[in-house]
Amino acid sequence: MKRYLVQTFGCQMNVHDSRRIEEVLGAHGYEQADELAVADVIVLNTCSVREKAEQKLRSMVGTYKGLKALRPDLVIVVAGCVAQQEGDQLLRRVPHLDLVIGPDNIAELPALVESIRDGAPPRARTVFDLESPRFLVAQPRKEVTSFVTVMKGCDERCTYCIVPYTRGPERYRAAGEIVAEIAHLVEGGVREITLLGQTVNSWHSGGSGEGESEFPALLRRIALEVPSLLRLRYTSPHPRHLTEALIDAHAQLAILPRHLHLPVQSGSDRMLKRMLRRYTHADYVRRIEALRARVPGLTVSTDMIVGFPGETDADFEATLELVREVGFVSLFGFKYSPRPYTPALKLEDDVPEAVKDTRLQALFAAVDEIQRAHLQSLVGKRVQVLVESRDESVPNRYAGRSERHELVHLEAPEGLDPRGALVNVEIVEAFKHSLHGLMEGGVYHAPAPKRAAIRLPMASA
């Protein structure tokens, strides 16, 4: 039996693609390897959105050189965005690499691996499936929550972003196919679906992305046609497509939780313009307010970039101002990193690293404060949790997410396994990033106090 090992970097799209890689190899008789030493095929599914991830890839591929020298029949594959971006060049730069494969060519992987094993020379296969886009169907696994791709690629041209280059233009999956995949996963036990796409809410039923997005209609169709689905999330939407119709869908569909992850990137209009985001600080706030007026108590999280070229203290202050205005309860913050092929490369990366660091820390501190106050305000309240996993270290303790995406650890009644169920939880304590509570009928065990991080020296006898 041949064995594979897939290592994943980057975003949820990559995590999702890695599973498809595992499935296509599985369908061709491969088994998952527990460790590197026994793998016949190693796939590195890469990310190039920020510089760090790419550096990590280069050093990892380097470490496989020795392994390949010991076992020349080992097949080393680079997949994902770095593969798409660099293609043949990567083969030239890394001589012990066998295959470079783009995100749209995953289905071809088993045949390509076989050809390499049969002695074919290293090759790169990075062709976008523009004519007839392919969306590999996800196989059900034993899990409560799962991802389903609805579109791929991106037609935006945010000036800092390499994604339009590595993932190509927008292509949409047919609604019938999406609904069928969700229904199949739900039959297999999945209770929550997160729809995936680079600009997920720009979804259209036809080939062309012109005119207003039809994403709200897709949400309605899923809610109607898969009644046993408990929750429907989506990531990542573009603020431009948070339309009136989408706000209506949020107000009307109980299946949509009261949480939205809506990347904003900056609170400064000058930066937003340079980033080509096509909305202003005020537009963003207005849309969130309109949504909150219809969905009271909705929580919002976001992505933010600090230190984009030309960002001044005043620009960053506008970002902090936006954080306070919207009250983001969590945030992915990044230091701007110049990427190849992006329009922003023409701008000088003029914000010193130390300033980027300071701004990022200030941003995290502002969001932490909001998050802490928000979680504290829930103590004594009852929240609805979709239970996802069991905490192996404590009997009867489980974890899940509330409707507003708070992470909740809960005590379940003795002998009851609530995984996959929506349960009511009385919140007893708030921690820095999570809540702790009691499911109806459960017994509260206060978490053990944290041990000191530094071990004190033992007293000598």
Sites of contact with ligand SF4 (CB under 6 A): 154, 156, 158, 161, 163-164, 198-199, 238
In the complex, the smallest distance separating the C-beta of residue 303 from ligand 5AD, rounded to whole angstroms, is 3
In the complex, the smallest distance separating the C-beta of residue 313 from ligand SF4, rounded to whole angstroms, is 24
In the complex, the smallest distance separating the C-beta of residue 156 from ligand SF4, rounded to whole angstroms, is 4
Phi, psi of 446 (to 5 degrees): -65, 140
Which of 202, 301, 337, 371 binds ligand 5AD (CB under 6 A)? It is 337
* Partner in contact with 309, chosen from ligand 5AD, ligand SF4, none, beta carbon below 5 to 8 Å by kind: none
Q: Residue 284 and residue 278: Cα distance in Å, rounded?
A: 10
What is the H or E stretch that residue 413 is in? Answer: none
Closer to ligand SF4 by Cβ: residue 30 or 284: 284
Q: Residue 323 and residue 233: Cα distance in Å, rounded?
A: 22
* Partner in contact with 154, chosen from ligand SF4, ligand 5AD, none, beta carbon below 5 to 8 Å by kind: ligand SF4
Residues 292-311 that bind ligand 5AD (CB under 6 A): 303, 305
Closer to ligand 5AD by Cβ: residue 144 or 326: 326
In the DSSP assignment, the letter for residue 136 is P
- By the rule CB under 6 A, 50 interacts with ligand 5AD: yes
* Partner in contact with 336, chosen from ligand 5AD, ligand SF4, none, beta carbon below 5 to 8 Å by kind: ligand 5AD
Which strands make up the sheet holding 192-196, listed edge to edge? 145-149, 192-196, 231-235
* Partner in contact with 198, chosen from ligand 5AD, ligand SF4, none, beta carbon below 5 to 8 Å by kind: ligand SF4
Closer to ligand SF4 by Cβ: residue 18 or 198: 198
Closer to ligand SF4 by Cβ: residue 14 or 198: 198
Q: Tell me the residue ranges of DSSP E strands in 37-110.
A: 41-46, 75-79, 99-101
Phi, psi of 298 (to 5 degrees): -60, 135
Q: Residue 323 and residue 277: Cα distance in Å, rounded?
A: 17
* Partner in contact with 81, chosen from ligand 5AD, ligand SF4, none, beta carbon below 5 to 8 Å by kind: none
- Radius of gyration for the alpha carbons in the chain, expressed in angstroms and rounded: 24
In the complex, the smallest distance separating the C-beta of residue 444 from ligand SF4, rounded to whole angstroms, is 43
In the complex, the smallest distance separating the C-beta of residue 169 from ligand 5AD, rounded to whole angstroms, is 18
User: Is the separation of the CB atoms in 238 and 199 below 8 Å?
Assistant: yes
* Partner in contact with 30, chosen from ligand SF4, ligand 5AD, none, beta carbon below 5 to 8 Å by kind: none
Q: Residue 360 and residue 199: Cα distance in Å, rounded?
A: 25
Which residue bears the tokens 């760090």? 52
Q: Residue 338 and residue 353: Cα distance in Å, rounded?
A: 12
In the complex, the smallest distance separating the C-beta of residue 167 from ligand SF4, rounded to whole angstroms, is 7
Q: Residue 214 and residue 204: Cα distance in Å, rounded?
A: 5
* Partner in contact with 238, chosen from ligand 5AD, ligand SF4, none, beta carbon below 5 to 8 Å by kind: ligand SF4
Closer to ligand 5AD by Cβ: residue 126 or 265: 265
- What is the full DSSP assignment across 235-256? E---GGG--HHHHHHHHH-TTS
Which of 4, 336, 388, 423 binds ligand 5AD (CB under 6 A)? It is 336
Of residues 391, 371, 387, 389, the one with CA closest to residue 433: 371
Q: Which residues contact 66 (CB under 8 A, 6 or more apart)?
A: none
Per-residue contact string for residues 145-164; x = within reach of ligand 5AD by CB under 6 A:
---------------xx---
Of residues 276, 286, 209, the one with CA closest to residue 247: 286
Q: What angle do CA 212, 201, 177 make, to 5 degrees?
A: 100
In the complex, the smallest distance separating the C-beta of residue 353 from ligand SF4, rounded to whole angstroms, is 22
- By the rule CB under 6 A, 359 interacts with ligand 5AD: no
Q: Residue 126 and residue 120: Cα distance in Å, rounded?
A: 17
Closer to ligand 5AD by Cβ: residue 122 or 333: 333
In the complex, the smallest distance separating the C-beta of residue 219 from ligand SF4, rounded to whole angstroms, is 20
In the complex, the smallest distance separating the C-beta of residue 411 from ligand 5AD, rounded to whole angstroms, is 36
User: Is the separation of the CB atoms in 47 and 40 below 8 Å?
Assistant: no
* Partner in contact with 305, chosen from ligand 5AD, ligand SF4, none, beta carbon below 5 to 8 Å by kind: ligand 5AD
- By the rule CB under 6 A, 334 interacts with ligand 5AD: yes
In the complex, the smallest distance separating the C-beta of residue 6 from ligand 5AD, rounded to whole angstroms, is 21
Distances in whole angstroms, Cα of residue 262 to Cα of each of 151, 238, 286, 288: 17, 7, 13, 9
Angle, helices 12-27/109-117, rounded to nearest 10 degrees = 60
Q: Which stretches of the chain bind ligand 5AD, using CB under 6 A?
A: 11, 49-50, 160-161, 263, 265, 303, 305, 334, 336-337, 339
